[in-house]
Structure 1
Amino acid sequence: MRYYPVHLYKFILLLLITSFVVPSRAQEIMVTYFNKNGGYTAIKDSAAYTNIIRLAANEKGLYELNDYYPNGSLKRHGWTKVANPRKPQLEGTMETYHENGNLAITAIYKNNKLIDTLKRYYENGLIQEARFFTSTGSSSNEFLSPRHHSRLIYYADSIGRVQISNGNGAYEAKKNMDIEKGQYVDGLRQGHWEGTFNKGKNKFEEWYANGVLSKGMTTDSMGNVHPYTQREVQPEYPGGIKKLMMFVAQNYTYPREALRERVSGQLLISFVVEKNGMLNEFEVINDLGYGTANRGIEVLKKAPKWTPGYQYGMPVRVKYSIPIRLHTAPAPK
């Protein structure tokens, strides 16, 4: 079954990181091992990548950040205003690399926000696209980052055939047996677009004006038509995510052993919001032990049903992660 991961920065406070400091000849470094679901692990061999932050800031007050693939090759290099591996405040140029060593992305950040020109590259080294980001744009076009506005100024296929130049041209991309095509004018989507998703089973049509989606419709494999005005709609808990956290806080009960051991910290539990709004496929990303994670799952199962997520006007499965902070000290008066 497919599910669509949600952009977690919109909804949750990130998990506190357990890292350790390793002395080096020149300066100290913070090393953190991350697994594939975004949690951390103490075992290097099970990590999807290793994050290393140098704790001596440069003349601009920035800390050097490097991520490495399991094979030792560089995954990402850049700078952060804070020495926090799970929630860095990116600043300046950030470079990401494919596992074969070729450059994947170059981007520029200011105050942890994309600015200026972002470039993507194929694994073969050819440039795929260049996109200009501005915080003053009035259009909410594209889906790369909902916090920023951007214009596509260049796009080429994997063999170097240019489709978009100076923000204008006919765009056509194929991925996983699906296709999407339409027109760009001044870096924004314009007019009629069409394509397929779910390996060609569903067809969609969309209409844009200056990069803004005005309407869309999907025809599924059974011939049913699903209209929409937003390509992606995230699932929603009744009253919002703050209401969910309040529900958890009011209904969570400590296991006796956890109380006896005065267990404190933060659980991180992921789950899938099904097409009918029910929760399923719970996974413990960070566990504090003594049955604390199981109690967290029990509370989430008792919570009211969600409004499901939609993509192209059709309900989809969406994966979430939420933190549950536990503290055994007496509550402040």
Structure 2
Amino acid sequence: MPLRFSLLFLSVLWMSASRSQQSPEGLDYYFKPTTSIPRYVAVTEKKDSGWYREIFFWPEKTLAKSLWFKDALCEVEHGPQSTFDMDGFLKTRGTVDNGKKTGPWLSFDHEGFMTDSINYRNGRRFGISMSFHSNGYNEDSTNMDENGNGVQVSWYDNGTPSQAGAWVQDTLKNKRWVYFYKNGNRKATEDYAMGKKISSACYDSTGTQLPGECEEREATFSENENAWGKFLQRNLNPNVPVDNRAPLGMYTIAVQFIVTKNGELKDFKALTKYGYGMEAEVIRLLKKSPKWIPALQFGQLVNAYRVQPVTFQVTSE
């Protein structure tokens, strides 16, 4: 029944395509074309003002993206663009002019509250842009000129400053950036020249300077970069979708989790909904993981978000 339903849904899209010049296309987790079981289904239609494409989550069948393009290959975005989460809530909305963001771009959380209002000109941030915490307090404020040069000030959700510094060419940090703890004490300073960090200094929460340069480190499973892949291969049960009679095809499952300051994994959240026990199997596997090497930021241990994709394949052999 699930296989029959999947084929029926795609055939309905195909019949609709024949009548209105649409072309349904299966996309994988990374929005790349696939001939296997898709994570998304894209439907493209030629209209007077360009090519309009809707991308649906699959198998949820809810809208993920609403996009306009200049070309039939959908390579150059041009016009209003919107993205949505799996439950149908608007995530982002803005306009692209010939492949470059322009005007206000807005972001929203799951409850519909605006989290970002960023202005663009010719693909770069321009003018005053703001982002907000869930309690309504300002999180970031930037003021940029037409060349992408400007300043940023950020705050914690209690209103105390968290960081301040300058940007050049929209994305390159420049000159001195200063960071603060939530209690108001200085956390770190970093000196940049056109995006390149020259020097840094870190402090503990009492304001005492730590020795040496600030140490930064991503959360990793082991110093051996192949160790995590070997752990997954040893402990994953690849027969889960077969045992649960999933249709033939490839399924890329994605699970988000947090690596805590002590290296434990927690707060597992499936970002896909294929079912057939696959998301549950990946979460089971992650819960079995030994401790990771936690992330460092400004010389301090911090929590880090990670997303683990795992691909299952169901074949006829």
Q: Would you say same fold, with TM above 0.5?
A: yes
Aligned-pair identity in percent equals: 14
Q: Compared with structure 1, are the counterparts of its residues 118 and 63 closer, same or farther at alpha carbon in structure 2 (3 Å cutoff)?
A: closer
Counterpart residue identity of residue 128, structure 1? N
In the alignment, is residue 75 of structure 1 matched against residue 93 of structure 2?
yes
Hey, what does 2:295 align to over in structure 1?
309
Task: Compute the displacement of 1:218 (Å).
Answer: 1.8
Alignment partners' CA distance in 2, 1:73 and 1:260: 33
Partner of 2:30: 14
Cα-to-partner distance string for 1:75-133 (whole Å, 9 max, x where unaligned): 12337xxxxxxxxxxx7312352368x97232656xxxxxxx54253359x9712485x
Question: What is the correspondence of 1:1-333 to structure 2 with a 5 Å cutoff?
Answer: 14=30, 17-21=39-43, 26=48, 29-32=52-55, 42-43=61-62, 50-54=64-68, 57=71, 62-64=76-78, 66-67=81-82, 75-78=93-96, 92-95=99-102, 96-98=104-106, 104-106=118-120, 117-119=124-126, 121-122=128-129, 128-130=143-145, 153-155=149-151, 173-176=153-156, 177-181=160-164, 189-190=174-175, 194-197=178-181, 199-200=182-183, 202-208=185-191, 210=193, 212-221=197-206, 225-227=209-211, 229-230=213-214, 232-239=216-223, 243-254=227-238, 258-259=242-243, 261-263=245-247, 264-329=250-315
> What is the rounded CA distance, in whole Å, between the counterparts of 2:99 and 2:168 in structure 1?
29
Using the TM superposition, give the Cα deviation of residue 195 of structure 1 relative to its aligned residue in structure 2, in angstroms. 4.0
Which string of whole-angstrom CA distances, capped at 9 and with x for unpartnered residues, describes residues 148-202 of structure 1?
xxxx6334xxxxxxxxxxxxxxxx73523125456899986446x54413x2355
Q: Which has the higher contact order (CA 8 A, sep 6+)?
A: 1
Helix, strand or coil for the counterpart of 2:315?
Answer: coil
Tell me how large the CA RMSD over aligned residues is: 4.4
Would you say the 8 A contact 1:251–1:299 is kept in 2? yes
CA contact (8 A) 1:131 1:154 kept: no
Identify if the C-alpha distance between structure 1 residues 119 and 25 changes in structure 2 by more than 3 Å, giving closer, same or farther: closer
1:105 partner amino acid: N
Change in 2 beyond 3 A, CA 1:227/1:29: farther
Indicate if the aligned counterparts of 1:272 and 1:318 stay in contact, CA closer than 8 A: yes
TM-score of the two chains, using structure 1 as the length reference: 0.58
**CA-CA distance at 1:214 after TM superposition:** 1.4
> What is the alpha-carbon distance in structure 1 between the residues aligned to residue 121 and residue 298 of structure 2?
29
Helix, strand or coil: the match of 1:208?
strand
Q: TM-score, normalised by structure 2?
A: 0.61
Give the 3 Å change call, closer, same or farther, for CA 256–271 of structure 1 in structure 2. closer
- What is the count of residue pairs matched by the alignment? 252
C-alpha distance in structure 2 between counterparts of 1:97 and 1:180, whole Å = 23
Please give the secondary structure, in 1, of the residue aligned with 2:144: strand
List alignment gaps of at least 5 residues for structure 2: 1-28, 32-37, 108-113, 132-140
